[in-house]
């Protein structure tokens, strides 16, 4: 095992890729090589808005700007913002008194707002408006005396934030198993809500199990799983049955990206892999492969997808067919604290976040 480089803190030795000819010699490819490219993929309006928020805050308030947690779950985005002067911290107590801190797109609980106020931090809240919608629902239903089953992944920042709105009446349900065993105090005044980035199908399975046990369970007023998650899963469902291999660009801590890999496998892809960068693609995955599906999570800039497409082209997959299942034109205003500063400084270059506002950075 070549652990020496790691233990000595030396950079890893770059891997030499096998050539296209070597890969093709390893296994016969039946049929023409092609790529099915999911559309929509990549940046959603909430992520674009959050990233612009940090960029504009750096530009107008100057570094350092602190950001609680990863602004969005993507290594490339976080590293790029760090280079520009953003400092990512886990908790607000790591931020010096009086400094500026941005809350990430995943949202925070009221307790975090409180801590920030107690330490005189200047805050900008980049919580996605669709996450805020779920927070408001939790508050409203708790005030109305309802008990809440929050479907989502324990420990995910978004779930921590929503749970924190009404902890005394909320129980997190992670999966079907927990749906079978969860205990409630008030089955006749019960509501389910969910994390915004779950698998649509899996969530419905969980709800079915809950409803069998609690027939009076009430739905959220509108879908909590957001449009971006739903649309990216729909595109993957369309291309997966035709793909020998699906490559999803996204980080392992990105819930919606991980769900895309799972959905691809559920819908018939022979293999599905998650990569942060093109350099993580292993050319052995191409052995015997005619059709490669490509998509990316909602926190992934398209430049990273383009690098994967360039790599695929080197291995003969240059024929790219878009698989379009939806058009997206959602836009969100930047956080109000930032808008005020942009107005003051006469900057009206970016007041909205969303696809089309910045397609390829």
- Rounded to 5 degrees, φ, ψ at 184 are -125, 160
Please check if 106 is assigned to a binding site. yes
By rule CB under 6 A, what string of x and - marks binding of each residue 159-198 to ligand SF4? -------------------------------------xx-
Cross-strand pairs, 35: 292, 320
The catalytic residue among 55, 158, 160, 287 is 158
Q: How far is the CB of 2 from ligand SF4 (least distance, A)?
A: 38
Q: Is 340 helix (H, G, I), strand (E, B) or coil?
A: helix
Q: How many CA atoms lie within 13 A of 74 on its CB side?
A: 28
Instruction: Check the annotation: does 73 bind a ligand.
Output: yes
**Spatial contact of 130 and 46, defined as CB atoms under 8 Å apart:** yes
Q: Name which position in 131, 149, 239, 281 contacts ligand SF4 (CB under 6 A).
A: 131
Q: Which range binds ligand SF4 by CB under 6 A, 73-81, 108-116, 125-133, 262-270?
A: 125-133
CB atoms within 10 A of CB 69: 22
- Complex with ligand SF4: residue 224 or 244, whichever CB lies closer: 224
Task: Answer yes or no: is 128 a known binding residue.
Answer: yes
Q: What separation, in Å, do the N-terminal and C-terminal C-alpha atoms of the chain show?
A: 38
Binding flag, residue 304, ligand SF4 (CB under 6 A) = no
Q: Tell me the HSE value of 239 on the side-chain side, using a 13 A CA sphere.
A: 34
Helix axes 200-213, 227-239, angle to 10 degrees: 110
Please return the burial class of 148, using the count of CB atoms within 10 Å of its CB with bins 0-12, 13-18 and 19+. Answer: buried
Judged by CB under 6 A, the stretch of 39-47, 96-104, 282-290, 308-316 that binds ligand SF4 is 39-47
228 forms part of the interface with ligand SF4 (CB under 6 A): yes
Catalytic residue status for 160: no
349 is known to lie in a ligand binding site: no
- Which candidate, 283, 285, 293, 284, places its Cα nearest to that of 263? 293
Residue closest to ligand SF4, measured at CB: 46
In terms of Cβ atoms closer than 10 Å to its own Cβ (0-12, 13-18, 19+), residue 16 is: exposed
**x/- contact string, 40-79, with ligand SF4 (CB under 6 A)?**
----xxxx--------------------------------
| 257 in a labelled binding site | no
Q: Which is nearer to ligand SF4, 123 or 233 (CB)?
A: 233
Q: Which residues of the chain form contacts with ligand SF4 (CB under 6 A)?
A: 44-47, 105, 128, 130-131, 196-197, 226, 228-229, 256, 298
Give catalytic residues, as residue numbers.
Answer: 158
């Amino acid at each position: 095992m070549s652990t020496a480089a790691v233990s000595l803190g030396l950079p890893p030795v770059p891997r030499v890729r096998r050539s296209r000819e070597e890969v093709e010699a390893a296994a016969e490819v039946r049929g023409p090589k092609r790529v099915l490219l999911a559309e929509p993929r990549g940046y959603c309006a909430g992520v674009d808005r959050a990233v612009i928020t940090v960029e504009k805050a750096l530009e107008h308030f100057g570094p350092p700007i602190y950001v609680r947690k990863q602004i969005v779950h993507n290594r490339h985005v976080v590293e790029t913002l760090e280079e520009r002067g953003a400092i990512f911290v886990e908790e607000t107590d790591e931020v010096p008194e009086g400094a500026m801190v941005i809350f990430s797109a995943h949202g925070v609980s009221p307790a975090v707002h409180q801590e920030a106020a107690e330490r005189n931090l200047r805050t900008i809240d980049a919580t996605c408006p669709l996450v805020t919608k779920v927070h408001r629902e939790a508050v409203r239903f708790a005030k109305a005396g309802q008990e809440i089953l929050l479907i989502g992944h324990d420990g995910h920042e978004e779930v921590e934030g929503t749970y924190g709105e009404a902890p005394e009446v909320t129980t997190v349900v992670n999966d079907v198993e927990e749906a079978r065993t969860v205990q409630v105090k008030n089955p006749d005044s019960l509501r389910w809500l969910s994390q915004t980035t779950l698998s649509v199908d899996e969530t419905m399975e969980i709800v079915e199990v809950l409803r069998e046990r609690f027939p009076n369970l009430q739905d959220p007023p509108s879908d909590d799983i957001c449009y971006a998650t739903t649309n990216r899963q729909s595109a993957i469902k369309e291309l997966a049955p035709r793909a020998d291999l699906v490559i999803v660009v996204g980080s392992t801590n990105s819930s919606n990206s991980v769900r895309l890999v799972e959905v691809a496998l559920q819908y018939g892809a022979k293999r599905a892999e998650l990569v942060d960068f093109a350099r993580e693609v292993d050319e052995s995955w191409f052995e015997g492969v005619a059709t490669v599906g490509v998509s990316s999570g909602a926190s992934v800039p398209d430049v990273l997808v383009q690098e994967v497409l360039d790599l695929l082209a080197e291995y003969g997959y240059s024929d790219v067919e878009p698989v379009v299942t939806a058009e997206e034109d959602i836009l969100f205003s930047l956080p109000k604290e930032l808008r005020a500063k942009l107005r003051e400084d006469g900057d009206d270059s970016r007041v909205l976040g969303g696809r089309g506002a910045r397609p390829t950075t």
